[in-house]
């Protein structure tokens, strides 16, 4: 045998074991990263659910305030049409409608902020899902590559034994 032809290391040699250990480390690293990405995705999903609940709560508060405003406005219009309101009553209703319309505006702002937070979290969830899917694909490719290399090395080893038998 000449020095420039390198034989395939036998299965019990240290080079063979180190070669497979490196690949296993790479595969294990990818699987650990994949688990981290999956945990991150689950965490973001939970945050999205909580944010959606907050949006629903703020929307129900806003709806309640608007319902109170509309009921009060209807009552005011009925009493005003009947002519039963005094100047003091009209002034107190005016103050009430001013305060409640301010509360409606504040609640709309809070509701819009919660909706923006929810949209932001949904975008984060999409990114987390994309990252997880990317590492799943990377993991699948690494496994396929390892399997191909293993099959190729086994085929080379089998070919070596066949050639060795024929040369005897």
- Contact between 22 and 138 under an 8 Å Cβ cutoff? The reply is no
CA distance linking residue 119 with residue 111, whole number of Å: 12
pTM of the model: 0.68
Question: Quick one: average pLDDT of 126-141?
Answer: 92
- Contact between 24 and 146 under an 8 Å Cβ cutoff? The reply is no
Phi and psi for 133 in degrees, rounded to 5? -65, -40
Token pair belonging to 98: 């001013």
Residue 1: the pLDDT is 45
Residue 23: the pLDDT is 58
Burial of 132 (0-12, 13-18, 19+ CB in 10 A): buried
Instruction: Grade residue 16 by pLDDT with cuts at 50, 70 and 90.
Output: low
Question: Quick one: average pLDDT of 107-125?
Answer: 96
Token pair belonging to 157: 């080893």
Task: State pLDDT tens for residues 40-79.
Answer: 999 999 999 999 999 999 999 999 999 999 999 999 999 9
Residue 85 has pLDDT above 90, yes or no: no
Residue with tokens 């809070």: 110
Residue 3 has pLDDT above 60, yes or no: no
Using a pLDDT cut of 90, give the percent of the chain over it: 57
Residue 2 has pLDDT above 70, yes or no: no
User: Maximum CA pair distance of the chain?
Assistant: 121
Residue 12: the pLDDT is 55
């Amino acid at each position: 045998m000449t020095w420039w032809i390198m034989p395939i290391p036998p299965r019990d040699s240290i080079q063979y074991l180190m070669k497979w250990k490196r690949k296993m480390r790479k595969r294990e690293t990818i699987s650990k990263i994949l688990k981290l990405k999956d945990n991150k995705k689950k965490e973001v999903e939970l945050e999205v659910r909580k944010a959606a609940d907050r949006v629903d709560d703020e929307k129900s508060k806003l709806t309640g305030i608007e319902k109170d405003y509309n009921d009060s406005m209807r009552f005011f219009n009925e009493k005003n049409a009947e002519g039963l309101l005094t100047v003091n009553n009209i002034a107190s209703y005016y103050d009430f409608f001013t305060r409640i319309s301010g509360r409606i505006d504040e609640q709309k702002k809070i509701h819009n902020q919660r909706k923006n937070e929810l949209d932001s979290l949904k975008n984060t969830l999409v990114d987390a899902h994309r990252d997880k899917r990317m590492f799943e694909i990377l993991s699948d490719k690494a496994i396929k590559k390892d399997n191909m290399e293993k099959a190729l090395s086994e085929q080379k080893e089998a070919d070596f034994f066949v050639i060795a038998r024929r040369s005897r």
